[in-house]
Amino acid sequence: MSEYTYITLREKPHLKDSAAEWFHCKWGVPREAYLECMEAYLNNETEYGWYLCLDEDRIIGGLGVIENDFHDRKDLAPNVCAVYTEEEYRCKGIAGYLLDMVVKDLKSKGITPVYLVTDHTNFYERYGWEFLCPVQGDDEPDMTRMYIHR
């Protein structure tokens, strides 16, 4: 993993626009929504941050933290969101490193527990996350899995 660089967006704020575009392309959420969250983080309005993995100057993995990741359990916050690793970089521990990084960073700021929603099973458990309960996603017909990291 030492061949990659792991950063928070505050460490390289000039990547804001390219990071917002990268996340938008992966998840289809409007670029403006990412920019709004990133700007709040960069302006120290929130500690809910954005974490990236770079291969030289290329974003190859990332995730963010937001209040609610489009589900009905508004009391379960904050939420890790938009976890993604480029396909050719998967199975190299990048997502696990980013997940560990975000949990440690938030705990250092007194923010715990942290939640996330996913359809994956057996992935997040490897990194200390526990299944908590099913939640209803906004405009989703099926329930999805809510995880917690304490």
**Residue 83, domain CATH:** 3.40.630.30
Q: Is residue 98 helix, strand or coil?
A: helix
98 in a structural domain:
yes
Q: Which residues contact 111 (CB under 8 A, 6 or more apart)?
A: 47, 78
The average pLDDT across 135-143 equals: 89
The percent of residues in the chain predicted with pLDDT above 90, rounded, is 88
- Please, which pLDDT band fits residue 2 given cuts at 50, 70 and 90? low
Predicted TM-score (pTM) of the model is 0.93
* Alpha carbon distances (Å) from 48 to 41, 56, 58, 134: 6, 25, 23, 23
Q: Is residue 35 helix, strand or coil?
A: helix
134 in a structural domain:
no
Nearest to 35 by CA among 52, 11, 57, 15: 15
The average pLDDT across 75-98 equals: 97
84 in a structural domain:
yes
Q: Which domain holds residue 70?
A: 5-111
Separation between Cα atoms, residue 117 and residue 138, nearest integer Å:
12
124 in a structural domain:
no
pLDDT of residue 141: 87
| Structural contact between residues 49 and 102, judged by C-beta atoms closer than 8 angstroms | yes
148 in a structural domain:
no
83 in a structural domain:
yes
* pLDDT above 60: residue 1: no
Could you give the angle at the alpha carbon of 13 between the alpha carbons of 11 and 14, nearest 5°? 125
118 in a structural domain:
no
Number of domains in the chain: 1
138 in a structural domain:
no
What average pLDDT does the structure give for the chain?
Answer: 95
